[in-house]
Chains A and B, each alone.
Chain A
Amino acid sequence: MLSRLATRPHTRVGVAGAVLTAAGLVAIAVGTFLPWVRSGSVLRDSYQSIAVIRTFKVLDGNPLALVIDAWTLLIPAMTLCVIVYALGFRRSSATISALIAIISGTISGAATVLGGGEEVRLGIASIGPTTTLVGAVLTFAGVVAIFAGRRGRATEDAGGEP
């Protein structure tokens, strides 16, 4: 049977993890659309910034170009998470969420550190990377909770306390 939802009820920890993960993914998604690059009085979100990078070909032939490509796949990956979760494959969904959190968290963390604050005329803006970083942390915490919930159930099945 394709869906495993009916056979796997939620535990409290699992539900809390799922909610946290969902909130984190939403924050990541929103963060990518917030300002990442400031140039003069113009603010660009992460995707517009990627367009500029691609236009100038500054990463042509550089392995970092793969990171740029991966970034544009965050939203599709989040959509995949929802589909996989809806079908009841929670651990798979949590694993994909963890990957999203790691990738987005690493990039946004680096951008947050390198950000020049709001006073710079040309540089990294802070709100986009910070929001994405918070989302990544929430997502990762949620994923941990989902797996922790699973561990608790496995203990019960092995004869532990219900």
Chain B
Amino acid sequence: MTYPGGGQWQPNDPNQPGSGGFPAQQPGGYQQPGYGQPGGYPQTGPQGFPQQPQTGPEGFPQQPQTGPQGFGQPQYGQPQYGQQPQYGGLPAYGGVPPKKRGKGPIIGAIAAVVVVALGVGATFFVLNRSEAGSGGEDNPTQAATNLVNSLSQGDVLGVLESLTPAESSLLVDFNAKTTKRLQELNVYKKDADPNKLHGASVQAENLKYDEKGAEKVNDHLTITKLIGGTVTLHADVNDLPLTEDFMDAAFPDGVSSKPTDEKIDIAKAVKDNGEPIRIATVKVDDKWYPSLFYSVADYALLDAGKKWPTQSIPNNGAANAGDAVKELVQAAINSDVERVIELLPPDEMGALHDAGPALLDEIGTPAATNVQVTKLETESADAESGGTRVMLKEIEVKVDGETYHVTKDGDCYTAQAQGETQKFCAADVAESMGNSDMKPELKQALSHLASGMLKNTGVVATEVDGKWYVSPLRTYSELGLTALSDLTPDDVIALVTAK
């Protein structure tokens, strides 16, 4: 039912027929509270008579409300709990017109939608921008340009990022771990940045490529050719973040070396060599990266007068890190170079896989040695340079019918051969290297150096696509780190001051 005002019929509306012309009121004339009234129960007091005090649904008397209804909100124009909305009806305060809603809510809603749209767009942008592997480029020339641009801007991170992921990971891991270890040994200052290349910088300017002369070797390898520009190499020992203690010990008379700057004119170098500067770029996951190792392999092939083989040696890893090392040892003993290359990581040593057939041609077929590994037991630990370090536990080898047996226990090795047994420990190294005049601190430093190497030296294996491979570069890095593992800052001072 509607009334002339156009609103819905309200049981307590003074304009409703039969309401007696009085608004429904609480005793004392208080406005009835919005929450105190039973929801949906209209008031039905006697017509024309003052209403009895109203009770709630449970029969409890209602508390008269002195403040505005609800949470202090004006009653008019707003829906209330337990009451019919009064939109369009006459105001409960009688005579106060309903507030008109302005354009504010509409503008607010539009603004919210715009902000949300911007937020969604920014989210996609941010997620894309923070993705790993953004250093790759769409073509080989761009990849090489990216590298030299990073060099030109002194952007170490850009250089590392522009290299193939495996190579940059190798360099970053090694540099970071070495810096950290040298900080612990008080050789590097505590604030030395582990991601920085210390003591040297490279600057390149106006580099030009022979884009038409780029050699496409296969679907994932292209040799780009640099023909112009300049590269400046800067080296300064003073830029190394060495501590004062170390500098005083190592250079008691001060550092005499001056910074060196070497500027290379690429065009002149190209003219002198008769060959452009070659930068190998490789494709990894549809992105092109310049590669140090492929570039080295390319120059090695060039020097040997060979071309990149059309076929690669496939990667064929082992089931676990220990097996990878065992199979590599056996392949090396058998002079099976192809199997050795198969067991090298395809990401780090991809260049050797691709250049492998040319290497096999060069080596020929070496005669197998008369050595047989009859027993090889290893133990594994996490390598500091990344991957898994596989260390010798026990090995038994037969050479010309003679059996040699070596076992490792901590930093001691016990060798058995021809009926004799010899034990060799880290402490023996210092004894054998020094003499009676050797300072005790130097003897201790040598002992610690040997201890670190004998205890922790191993071969590093990495996992690629579920198979395990032996990483020669990480093994080499690990050797340096393990040599330093047992040293103390005092040992370093003793070693550098030894005469």
Contact = CB atoms under 8 A, between A and B. Distances in A.
Interface of A: 5-9, 29, 32, 37, 39-42, 44-45, 47-48, 50-52, 54-58, 68, 71-72, 75-76, 78-79, 82-83, 85-86, 121-123, 153, 156-157, 159, 162
B134 interface: yes
Given A40-B156, A56-B169, A75-B119, 18 more contacts: A6-B79, A7-B78, A39-B155, A47-B126, A48-B129, A51-B131, A52-B161, A55-B165, A56-B195, A68-B130, A71-B130, A78-B119, A82-B119, A85-B112, A121-B154, A122-B157, A123-B193, A156-B71
Given A6-B78, A79-B120, A83-B112, A56 B172 contact: yes
B89 interface: no
Closest 4 CB pairs of A and B: A79-B119, A40-B154, A54-B132, A47-B129
Given A41-B153, A86-B109, A123-B193, A79 B72 contact: no
Contacts of A122: 156-157, 193, 195-196
Interface residues of B, dominant DSSP: helix
Nearest to B171: A56
Given A76-B123, A82-B119, A153 B71 contact: yes
A159 B72 CA distance: 11
Interface string B142-177: 000000001001111110110001001100100010
A83 B116 contact: yes
Interface residues of B, number: 45
Given A55-B165, A75-B119, A156 B72 contact: yes
B115 interface: yes
Dominant SS among interface residues on chain A = helix
B421 interface: no
A56 B159 CA distance: 12
Contacts of A82: 112, 115-116, 119
B73 interface: yes
Contact of B168 (A6, A56, A72, A162): A56
B221 to A, nearest CB: 21
B130 A39 contact: no
Interface string B102-141: 0001001100100110111011001101111111000000
14 contacts: A7-B78, A29-B122, A51-B130, A54-B133, A56-B168, A58-B172, A75-B119, A75-B122, A79-B118, A79-B119, A79-B123, A122-B156, A153-B71, A157-B71
A8 B73 CA distance: 8
B112 A86 contact: yes
Nearest to B120: A79
Contact of A55 (B73, B105, B116, B135): B135
B30 to A, nearest CB: 15
Given A82-B119, A122-B195, A157 B154 contact: no
B160 A56 contact: yes
